[in-house]
Amino acid sequence: MITGKNYIGNLLSAKGSKTYKTFNPLLNLENTTTFFEASNDEIEDAVAIASNAFKIYRKTSGKQKALFLNTIADEILALDDLLIETYCSETGLPEGRAKGERGRTIGQLRNFASLVVEGSWVEASIDSADPKRTPAPKPDLRKMLIPIGPIVVFGASNFPLAYSTAGGDTAAALASGCPVIIKSHPMHAGTGELVASAIVKAAEKTGMPNGVFSNINSSGIQVGVDLVQHSKIKAVGFTGSIKAGRALLDLAAKRDEPIPVFAEMGSVNPVIILPEALQKNGESLAKTYAASITLGTGQFCTNPGLILGVKGDELSAFIKDLGKEILQIHPSVMLHPNIIGAYEANKAETISQPNLEVVAQYNGKIQSNFAKQMITTVEGKAFLKNTMLHQEVFGPFSMVIQCENIHQLEEIISTLEGQLTGTIIAETNEIEIHSKIIEALQNRVGRIIYNGVPTGVEVSPSMVHGGPYPSSTDSRFTAVGINSIKRWVRPFSFQDWPNNLLPDELKNENPLQILRAVNGSQTSKSI
């Protein structure tokens, strides 16, 4: 049951006077539930109990945290059709997408459960003492990763499950030993509350401290501002626009105690199609990329918004084919009137730029909140001169850059802002002679795809979902996969500490049997 209230720990609360409703973009009408925006008192209460919970939860064993995470997954599954129906009513997305995203959310939780129950993720390191060393004795030093404190996670608009209430940021933070306060996204507050109820139930079932999780409603920006500025909050997770992410980064930096903001923001995900590949597979590539550009109505952070090739008959034919193929795909609904409004505004601003040509735009009759896909093209010289053309148009939109030659293509890549992904389409012999393109692209992205599409982010230990600014605020970390846990921890050393008072991870006998670096060698043996 959806109440519209905030979860302040395990208590439902509705002290605020400001209310709002979610919206069904497919039916073009408001959903019925009224949601209560959190009051200042509720924010204070949520942070206070999170801070208290941290004192206990930070010491919770990996086995206990794993049980908690797996129980969250079980409770989400137990929501069954109610969750799927709510998700669809708040997004307009189909049932298949809802179930797929639920599966990814469950998978992430279980992956982190496996990680923490095994335990080696803490990167335990021991350098034994040498009292006879000269000219000065060597101390005993032991290091591991420890959680940093209460985390605020902002739910993402385009992934109500996998990047929101129990999504990757939350799963990673809880796995690390940090309590989480969710700033629920107003577009899918009902979905968020249902998932929050599953987390709260799991916390109660597994004996977690009250305050290990809270879910805060908000229709505007002030609640998020108040949370980020609160002195007891120690880090922020965010997925969304560059404007919002940068605002949070600046707020966090101006605090008396600055804190990290791990934000995944905008990206145009450049695709480079080299001449031989274009000549050999131009028609099939046009079909493939038309599907990728329109997938999920272009509402993916890895949407291929920029395609680069070298001028010639093959590229001209590809542009024509891409325009033809994209018109064969029926438009689909965007997540909210605000999102399609931004799409239309950004699209209009982009196509108003000089020297840009509209190749194809869907002009058929469509329903409210459906997006008309568009392909544009511009010459490399004009693209280099106009940085407005470098910006993301969030939706089913892509731009083909016609470069004069390979050298100009390399130059364009080097001038791009940081991106989540880059893609190279090439024949094997072709890519071998274009190492400079690979090097230039590697300097601008977090992940390079070879002969594929950027849409689709595999959840695995080797995945990097992040990149140079502004695709993310810290390119050293990924927002996807088990290594994302490293955002919510810090290294800590014990010097000359009694063995019996050390954490189990650092004791001589290694009771957890984890892999440790002992005097420079990796081992799970005791010392």
Order of strands across the sheet that contains 125-127 = 489-495, 141-147, 125-127, 516-518, 521-523
Q: Give yes or no: residues 201 and 277 share one domain.
A: no
Task: Report residue 483: phi and psi, to 5°.
Answer: -70, -10
pLDDT, mean of each 10-residue run, the chain (527 residues): 97 98 97 98 98 98 98 98 98 97 98 98 98 96 98 97 98 98 98 98 98 98 98 98 96 98 96 97 97 97 97 97 97 97 97 98 95 98 97 97 97 97 95 92 98 95 97 97 98 98 98 98 97
The CA distances from residue 250 to 47, 173, 225, 369, 392, in Å, are 21, 22, 11, 33, 21
Q: Give yes or no: residues 258 and 285 share one domain.
A: no
85 in catalytic set? no
Within-domain flag for 507: no
Within-domain flag for 207: yes
Q: Helices 95-118 & 62-91, crossing angle to 10 degrees?
A: 170
What's this model's pTM, rounded to 2 decimal places? 0.96
Q: Please give the residue range of the domain that contains residue 294.
A: 271-450
Pairing of strands 306-310, 271-273: parallel
- DSSP 8-state secondary structure symbol assigned to residue 506: G
**3-state DSSP call for residue 343?**
helix
Point out which residues pair with 425 in neighbouring strands. Answer: 273
CATH number for the domain spanning 385: value is 3.40.309.10
Burial class (CB in 10 A: 0-12, 13-18, 19+), 176: buried
- Mapping DSSP onto H, E and C, the string for 402-429 reads EECCHHHHHHHHHHCCCEEEEEEECCHH
Nearest partner of 398 among 271, 295, 329, 306, judged by Cα: 306
Quick one: pLDDT at residue 92? 96
Q: Give yes or no: residues 318 and 183 share one domain.
A: no
Quick one: pLDDT at residue 491? 98
Burial class (CB in 10 A: 0-12, 13-18, 19+), 93: buried
Strands (E), 115-209: 125-127, 141-147, 151-154, 180-183
Nearest partner of 186 among 213, 211, 216, judged by Cα: 216
Which one of 37, 75, 90, 301 is the catalytic residue? 301
Q: What distance in Å separates the CA atoms of residue 374 and residue 397, rounded to the nearest whole number?
A: 5
Does residue 216 contact residue 182 with C-beta atoms inside 8 Å?
yes
Q: What distance in Å separates the CA atoms of residue 424 and residue 274, rounded to the nearest whole number?
A: 8
Q: Give yes or no: residues 394 and 317 share one domain.
A: yes
Order of strands across the sheet that contains 271-273 = 357-361, 374-379, 397-403, 306-310, 271-273, 419-425, 445-450
Query: What's the token pair of residue 405?
Result: 């030659």
Q: What distance in Å separates the CA atoms of residue 452 and residue 424, rounded to the nearest whole number?
A: 8
Quick one: pLDDT at residue 266? 87
**3-state DSSP call for residue 504?**
helix
Does residue 294 contact residue 329 with C-beta atoms inside 8 Å?
yes
Q: Give yes or no: residues 339 and 203 share one domain.
A: no
Nearest partner of 66 among 159, 145, 176, judged by Cα: 176
Point out which residues pair with 238 in neighbouring strands. Answer: 263
Q: Give yes or no: residues 239 and 283 share one domain.
A: no
Q: Give yes or no: residues 44 and 109 share one domain.
A: yes
CATH number for the domain spanning 185: value is 3.40.605.10
Q: Give yes or no: residues 393 and 293 share one domain.
A: yes
Within-domain flag for 481: yes
Q: What distance in Å separates the CA atoms of residue 161 and residue 159, rounded to the nearest whole number?
A: 5
Within-domain flag for 115: yes
Q: What distance in Å separates the CA atoms of residue 264 and residue 243, rounded to the nearest whole number?
A: 11
Nearest partner of 35 among 159, 211, 191, judged by Cα: 191
Within-domain flag for 505: no
Q: Give yes or no: residues 258 and 279 share one domain.
A: no
Within-domain flag for 461: no
Per the structure, how many domains does the chain have? 2
Q: Give yes or no: residues 250 and 304 share one domain.
A: no
Q: What distance in Å separates the CA atoms of residue 183 and residue 189, rounded to the nearest whole number?
A: 10
Q: Helices 313-326 & 275-294, crossing angle to 10 degrees?
A: 20
CA dihedral 281, 282, 284, 289 (to 10 degrees): 120
Q: Which helix (H) or strand (E) holds 81?
A: helix 62-91
264 in catalytic set? yes
Within-domain flag for 123: yes
Quick one: pLDDT at residue 457? 94
Query: What's the token pair of residue 224?
Result: 């998020």
Which residues touch 482 (CB under 8 Å, ≥6 apart)?
Answer: 111, 112, 115, 121, 172, 461
- DSSP 8-state secondary structure symbol assigned to residue 58: T
Which one of 264, 325, 417, 505 is the catalytic residue? 264
Q: Give yes or no: residues 84 and 224 share one domain.
A: yes
Q: Give yes or no: residues 342 and 402 share one domain.
A: yes
Other residues' Cβ atoms within 10 Å of the Cβ of residue 523? 13
Does residue 183 contact residue 165 with C-beta atoms inside 8 Å?
no
Q: What distance in Å separates the CA atoms of residue 75 and residue 330, rounded to the nearest whole number?
A: 36
Nearest partner of 497 among 511, 507, 505, judged by Cα: 507
Q: What distance in Å separates the CA atoms of residue 173 and residue 479, rounded to the nearest whole number?
A: 11
- DSSP 8-state secondary structure symbol assigned to residue 302: T
Burial class (CB in 10 A: 0-12, 13-18, 19+), 174: buried
Within-domain flag for 134: no
